[in-house]
Structure 1
Amino acid sequence: MTLRTARRSSLVDQVIDQLKGEIAAGAWGLGAKIPPEPTLSETLGVGRNTVREAVRALTHAGLLECRQGDGTYVRATSELSGAVRRRLRTAELLEILEVRRALETEAARLAAGRRTPADVARIERALARCEELAGGDDRGAFVEADLDFHMAVAEATHNRVLIELYRDFGEALRASITAAVDRLDQVAVPHASLAEAVVAGDAEAAERATLVCLDAVCRSLDGVPPG
């Protein structure tokens, strides 16, 4: 960990900032159990009441989840992600896919004009993973590969706001898509055409390929019409 001894007057706020920093940096991944209260108190050099207040604040914000008798776990990586996750619990799958369509079509268009050789390499690795898992029995792994592929495209935009939005939305999206994965025809999702368009620098083709990709998802899910 990279936690430092707290010295500012607002100890609770500083502890909150440091815990949020550890979560955002990936020191404690999504679903991970954070160190117990005594450990955090000793590491930060503050009282246990200060740690308890900070954890309570982050729990209220949706970043942490306290499980009685078990410990405290990372529930989201940012306040936005926590808020989106809470909202998506009651959202219809069609609503979720419509938002995904808006984010991913713009991401594809921008990525086609801004991708670097490193971005291309990551997109191609993610595509290979999707193709490897398509049609297999491990549908959960396919969902992860699918989201990683689209995250690679989003990161190729080099738009920090869009990347952060997609990362936060992707965490919430994962649960919704996983819930429907038994009905998803993985082979029908044409990731390759999107990758080819981005690599070729063709923004219009990348946008069209994204729409085709998401329409394939919609068609394979009962009751969800394509846009």
Structure 2
Amino acid sequence: MSTSAMRPPLAGEVMSKLRQDVANGRWAVGQRIPAEPELIAELGVSRGTLREAIKALAHSGIFEVRRGDGTYVRATSEICGTAQRVYREHSDHDVLQVRFALDTQAARLAARASDQEVIKRLRDFLDQRSDAWQRQDFSAWSQADWAFHLEVARASGVPLLHELYESFGDVFHGTKMSQRLAEGFDGCLREGHEALVEAIEAADDEAAARTVIANLDYCMGWMP
């Protein structure tokens, strides 16, 4: 066996391995990754190499190192991590304006595909959303609503669009949807939801875009 074949993994290789573990769902967003000794034994690297890799992934936004607590997954990719950091530097209004562009194009493309399996999943998410809203379980409502919008983005058939859209999860839908608690806010608005599914099923891309815009206009009206 050659000397090069026996060398320990470099920090870049460790980064790639940890990045892939996150992308494959080994650790979910918000979950703490294993402690240093466990990862050192698993990867066969030195403490310094592991820390260098984790520091780089924290800088890119994938990990968050909490002193005295551990390292947590913050995003599923560099693009999500960077986007979340950038979004936090802008107003809710600006973030929502970006969603106008992504939502409408995702809706158009999903309607052009008009996939029946996608339509079934979307309706299941809307059933969960309606049930959670009736029970006033705002956490479950938010999760179902966001899963619905992510499925539309995924159904666009453009992986990059889906990844960009996914980056809004914590920044916009998770922490900036305070209007869901405001008295009078309609958490089961048909526009951009049931009406969107109907447009997708009818393969009407322009109707899909119009109903998405109506939903986002409604959300914009509840911005503080």
Whether these two folds match at TM > 0.5 is yes
Instruction: Output the CA distance in 2 between the equivalents of 1:16 and 1:81.
Output: 16
Map 1:46-57 onto structure 2 (within 5 A): 46-57=45-56
- 1:216 maps to 218
Q: How far does residue 222 in structure 1 lie from its aligned partner after superposition?
A: 4.4
- 1:3 maps to none
- 1:196 maps to 198
Runs of 4+ in 1 over 6 A off after TM superposition: 6-9
Q: How far does residue 125 in structure 1 lie from its aligned partner after superposition?
A: 1.0
**Residue 134 of structure 1: SS of its match in structure 2?**
helix
**Relative to 1, partners in 2 of residues 1:155 and 1:217: Cα closer, same or farther, differing over 3 Å?**
same
Is 1:185 aligned to 2:215, yes or no? no
Q: How far does residue 181 in structure 1 lie from its aligned partner after superposition?
A: 3.0
- 1:138 maps to 137
**Residue 72 of structure 1: SS of its match in structure 2?**
strand
Q: How far does residue 53 in structure 1 lie from its aligned partner after superposition?
A: 0.9
CA displacement 1:151-188 (0-9 Å, x = unmatched): 11111111111111111233432334334432243134
Is 1:80 aligned to 2:79, yes or no? yes
- Is contact 2:80–2:163 with CA below 8 Å preserved after alignment? no
CA displacement 1:125-165 (0-9 Å, x = unmatched): 11212222235422222222111111111111111111111
- Is contact 2:8–2:45 with CA below 8 Å preserved after alignment? no
CA displacement 1:39-68 (0-9 Å, x = unmatched): 111111112211111111111111111111
**Relative to 1, partners in 2 of residues 1:150 and 1:21: Cα closer, same or farther, differing over 3 Å?**
same
**Relative to 1, partners in 2 of residues 1:8 and 1:133: Cα closer, same or farther, differing over 3 Å?**
farther
* Identity fraction in percent: 39
Q: How far does residue 189 in structure 1 lie from its aligned partner after superposition?
A: 5.3
Instruction: Output the CA distance in 1 between the equivalents of 2:201 and 2:20.
Output: 34
Unaligned runs of 5+ in 1: 1-5
RMSD: 2.0
Taking structure 2 as the reference length, what is the TM-score of the superposition? 0.89
- Is contact 1:188–1:216 with CA below 8 Å preserved after alignment? no
Bigger shift: residues 59-68 or 105-114: 59-68
Is 1:36 aligned to 2:35, yes or no? yes
Bigger shift: residues 97-106 or 175-184: 175-184
Instruction: Output the CA distance in 2 between the equivalents of 1:42 and 1:28.
Output: 18
